[in-house]
Amino acid sequence: MEFSMHRSSRISGILMFSLFLLPTATLAAATSLGSPAQRQIDAARSALEQQPASVKSFNSLAVGLTRRARETGDVAYYEQAMQALEAATRLDPANRQTLRIAAWVAMGRHEFALAYRLARSYDRRYPDDSWNLSVMGDALMELGRYDEAERVFQRMVDLRPGPAAYSRVAYLRETRGDLQGAMEMMQLALSATDNRESEDRAWLMVQIAHLQELSGNLSGSEASYCAALEAFGGYHYALAGLSELTLRLGRAEEAASLASRAIEAAPHAERYLVLADALRASGRAPEALEAEANFEKLALSNVENPDNENHDLVLFYLERRRDPLKALSIAKLEADRRQDIHTLDRLAVALRAAGDEAKAARLMKRLLKVGTRDPLIAGHAAALGLASPS
């Protein structure tokens, strides 16, 4: 959750890696109807029908399926990608492409520690692979190892400047509180992204909208979300972001409609919280309670999974269904997996709610040193008598 109680964890590890894998000829051929990822999936499956024992085609299929997971929000595509990689590994256990894609798929599944280990192992053998560096840096970001991530991203920029590198530098700058620098790099990433990569461009527009909202440019943010929807029709990340923004702007009925559309496109649990608040603001309290119940049911089913809604669930049990001990248990579970600023923030607020204010303050001071200007974290810090960077 990056901006408000509703915003889920940033899409981890799934930026524009496909641009590194697809040769120019393949990109030029990808002009038929359908998403870029689906076209890659179809092409790989067609190739496998002609040559079933093709490691290259299984690898391409895994990449397409992982890209499709981001387009749709359907994690089942990750499982299919893993199956494709297993098939490739049986054919050639030491295949270089299979090894690097395996780290990326682990990242998409939010298995951050595993993704880092796989990418680091690959990096020892192939240190000049920018695509692998992107995975390694993303994993380090999610693990809260920001200085190491910065060094990795710098290597990436030096090796292959372009949208994948620029967008990662942007995320690091945002994490450290440099919103203007983050915006400059994200816009540079967008301008450097091929127009045919419609979902990649839409994803970047969503990130730009998020940064604009953080900076107080609400009209610009709304325009960017709408541009993302024009670039990639029905894009669930754009619908979700726009629903939060319109709720903030006081357009509750519109926010409820957008949240419902986002849920229909990709039923991520945290989107029910936006829907609940929009319904409540529209005077539809019983429906709001039902939406919150849907969130709780879905989020609890994912607590033990790497890809979860635990950041939102911690706050849910602190702000909506008061249960500090349950919130603390979930916060500790997530902190065992990762140490990014958002995870540490949730642990800090849960510790405070459970009565350990001294430990909460120490933890909050630690994460504030990163420099974040996230308004949610700033509010939690203020409750502990601490000031976040201005």
In which band, very low, low, confident or very high, does the pLDDT at 27 lie, cut at 50, 70 and 90?
A: very low
Dist. CA 149–CA 32, nearest whole Å: 37
> By three-state DSSP, how is residue 331 classified?
helix
Report helix, strand and coil shares of the chain as percent, to nearest 5: 70, 0, 30
Do both 117 and 91 map to the same domain? no
Q: Which of 110, 136, 156 is the last residue of a domain?
A: 110
Do both 28 and 83 map to the same domain? yes
Question: Average pLDDT, stretch 58-84?
Answer: 89
Question: Average pLDDT, stretch 103-122?
Answer: 94
pTM higher than the cut 0.95: no
DSSP characters over 303-315:
TTSSS--HHHHHH
CB under 8 Å to 8, separation ≥6 — which residues? 1, 2, 268, 270, 309, 311, 312
Residue type, 202: A
Residue 218 counted as domain residue:
no
- What are the tokens at 248? 């903030």
Question: Average pLDDT, stretch 142-166?
Answer: 96
Tokens 């990689």, located at residue: 85
Q: Catalogue the long-range contacts made by 347-355 (C-beta closer than 8 Å, 24 or more residues apart).
A: 347/314, 348/380, 348/384, 349/314, 349/315, 349/318, 349/380, 349/383, 350/314, 350/318, 350/324, 352/383, 352/384, 353/318, 353/324, 353/327, 353/328, 354/324, 354/325, 354/327, 354/328, 355/324
Alpha carbon 69 to its chain's center: 12
| Residues 110/138, Cβ–Cβ less than 8 Å | no
Do both 382 and 316 map to the same domain? yes
Q: What is the CATH number of the domain that holds 125?
A: 1.25.40.10
Do both 349 and 326 map to the same domain? yes
Residue 74 counted as domain residue:
yes
Residue 221 counted as domain residue:
no
Radius of gyration of the chain (CA): 21
Do both 99 and 135 map to the same domain? no
In which band, very low, low, confident or very high, does the pLDDT at 390 lie, cut at 50, 70 and 90?
A: low
Residue type, 370: V
Question: Average pLDDT, stretch 43-54?
Answer: 92
In which band, very low, low, confident or very high, does the pLDDT at 75 lie, cut at 50, 70 and 90?
A: confident
| Residues 169/157, Cβ–Cβ less than 8 Å | yes
Residue type, 159: L
Question: Average pLDDT, stretch 241-250?
Answer: 98
Dist. CA 387–CA 382, nearest whole Å: 6
Q: Which of 192, 222, 245 is the last residue of a domain?
A: 192
Q: Say if residue 163's pLDDT is above 90.
A: yes
For residue 73, the model assigns a pLDDT of 74
Question: Average pLDDT, stretch 336-349?
Answer: 97
% of the chain with per-residue pLDDT over 70: 91
Q: Say if residue 184's pLDDT is above 60.
A: yes
Dist. CA 346–CA 291, nearest whole Å: 22
Q: Say if residue 32's pLDDT is above 50.
A: no
Dist. CA 235–CA 201, nearest whole Å: 11
Residue 225 counted as domain residue:
no
Distances (CA, A) of 151 to 77, 121, 379, 381: 31, 17, 30, 28
For residue 318, the model assigns a pLDDT of 97
Q: What is the number of structural domains in the chain? A: 4
Do both 76 and 153 map to the same domain? no
Distances (CA, A) of 262 to 13, 56, 199, 273, 319: 21, 35, 16, 12, 24
Q: What is the CATH number of the domain that holds 103?
A: 1.25.40
For residue 389, the model assigns a pLDDT of 64
- The three-point CA angle 111-112-117 to 5° equals 105
Question: Average pLDDT, stretch 210-229?
Answer: 97
For residue 16, the model assigns a pLDDT of 40
- What are the tokens at 388? 């976040």
Dist. CA 244–CA 3, nearest whole Å: 10
Q: Say if residue 14's pLDDT is above 80.
A: no
Do both 25 and 102 map to the same domain? yes
Residue 226 counted as domain residue:
no
Q: Which structural domain range is residue 55 located in?
A: 13-110
Q: Which of 256, 281, 301 is the last residue of a domain?
A: 301
Do both 86 and 17 map to the same domain? yes
Do both 371 and 324 map to the same domain? yes
Q: Say if residue 126's pLDDT is above 50.
A: yes
Do both 140 and 80 map to the same domain? no
Question: Average pLDDT, stretch 122-151?
Answer: 96
For residue 379, the model assigns a pLDDT of 96
CB under 8 Å to 204, separation ≥6 — which residues? 163, 167, 186, 189, 190, 193
Do both 42 and 130 map to the same domain? no
Q: 146-159 and 163-175 are packed helices; what angle lies between their axes, rounded to 10 degrees? A: 160
Dist. CA 138–CA 135, nearest whole Å: 5
Do both 27 and 84 map to the same domain? yes
Tens of pLDDT along 86-98? Answer: 999 999 999 999 9
In which band, very low, low, confident or very high, does the pLDDT at 69 lie, cut at 50, 70 and 90?
A: confident
For residue 11, the model assigns a pLDDT of 39
Residue 229 counted as domain residue:
no
Residue 219 counted as domain residue:
no
Tens of pLDDT along 250-307? Answer: 999 999 999 999 999 988 999 999 999 999 999 999 999 999 999 999 999 999 999 8
Question: Average pLDDT, stretch 192-203?
Answer: 92
Give, as one character, the DSSP assignment of residue 34. S
Residue 3 counted as domain residue:
no
Residues in the chain: 390
